[in-house]
Structure 1
Amino acid sequence: MIRFTLNGRPQEIDADPDKPLLWVLRDDLGLVGTKFGCGQALCGACTVHLEGEPTRSCQTRIGDVAGKSVVTIESVNGAVAEAVQASWIKLDVPQCGYCQSGQVMAAIGLLTSNKKPSDAEIDDAMSGNLCRCATYQRIRAAIHEASRLLGA
């Protein structure tokens, strides 16, 4: 039995410790906001927060999250998350939307640690998140807007 905190609540699951967290979230727990993109931690679609840090769930074994805290897109909250979500809506960031849960999770991670990132810092923090629709300029603009909303 693997015990961890998921979206602020205690979670217990009987799963193979080598099973990727992504598949536990999606298949076993029904949390489908975290997307499968590449399965190799290269695209960012599967980004969740593990102990507050953006982490690729496709390459994180469920056994490695025992005793830790995982937050998915379904449960992000707080001032930074609200600013990012409001900015994404205001600037109409998504096109197809498939990558956006991972983009939002990465943006929240960035703005949690750096309230006023430069373009270069945004590009660096977001570089592992691919968008097939190439909305990178809108993503960068939304992160700057979220920063402004946060008073930075």
Structure 2
Amino acid sequence: MKVSLTVNGKPTSIDAPPDMPLLWVLRDVLDLKGAKYGCGVGQCGACTVHLKGSPVRSCQLPVSALQGAEVTTIEGLSPDGSHPVQRAWDEIDVPQCGYCQAGQIMSAAALLARNPSPTDAQITAAMNGNLCRCATYHRIRDAIHAAAATSAVTPSAPAATTARPRQAGTPRN
């Protein structure tokens, strides 16, 4: 199935089976490896991307639903890692293993775009379903508060880029 969509601000056409999940399009067709395969059933959040600014589980979104879609991945959230959530993730030192971080950051960015000053309860509700096997939930909450305090967060509006930026919020070597 031929589909035209916009990924990270760049118009893209793909030809893939209609039931292929967006996650595999991103990773295998477009070589964007930020979104991770965690569970394959939309329960863990590791594959979270933005669809028109809202967080979605890319493992559950088939190619057949992508015509004209506007998708933003962690690579497109901020090409240089300067998004307030990415900066806060680094400052608070959120990651431990880092596997869930792209999905966590995408969900947090969407939350702050909708609600620039969330309460702890609102953060918990918005981040529910983004699992972290290392249990860094308190640091995730702290980073969301830090991002909210440092600047206004706007919905994802990526600059078109082909560069593969460092993914803020990943473990340091």
Question: Hey, what does 1:27 align to over in structure 2?
Answer: 28
SS at match of 1:140: helix
Higher relative contact order (CA 8 A, sep 6+): 2
Cα distance in structure 1, aligned partners of 2:101 and 2:115: 20
Q: Which runs of 5+ in 1 are unaligned?
A: none
Amino acid at match of 2:103: G
> How big is the shift at 1:150?
1.6
SS at match of 2:83: helix
Question: Hey, what does 1:127 align to over in structure 2?
Answer: 128
Cα distance in structure 2, aligned partners of 1:40 and 1:68: 21
Per-residue deviation, residues 14-39 of structure 1 (Å, max 9, x unmatched): 11111000011111111111100000
Deviation above 2 Å: which 4+ runs of structure 1? Answer: none
Q: Which runs of 5+ in 2 are unaligned?
A: 154-173
Of Structure 1 and Structure 2, the greater helix share is in: 1
Question: Hey, what does 2:163 align to over in structure 1?
Answer: none
Question: Hey, what does 2:60 align to over in structure 1?
Answer: 59
Question: Hey, what does 2:51 align to over in structure 1?
Answer: 50
Question: Hey, what does 2:86 align to over in structure 1?
Answer: 85
Cα distance in structure 2, aligned partners of 1:6 and 1:32: 13
* TM value normalised by structure 2: 0.84
Q: CA RMSD in A?
A: 1.4
Paired residues in the alignment total: 150
Query: What percent of counterpart residues are identical?
Result: 56
* TM value normalised by structure 1: 0.95
SS at match of 2:144: helix
Amino acid at match of 1:88: W
Assess, with a 3 A threshold, how the Cα gap between structure 1 residues 151 and 13 changes in structure 2: closer, same or farther. closer
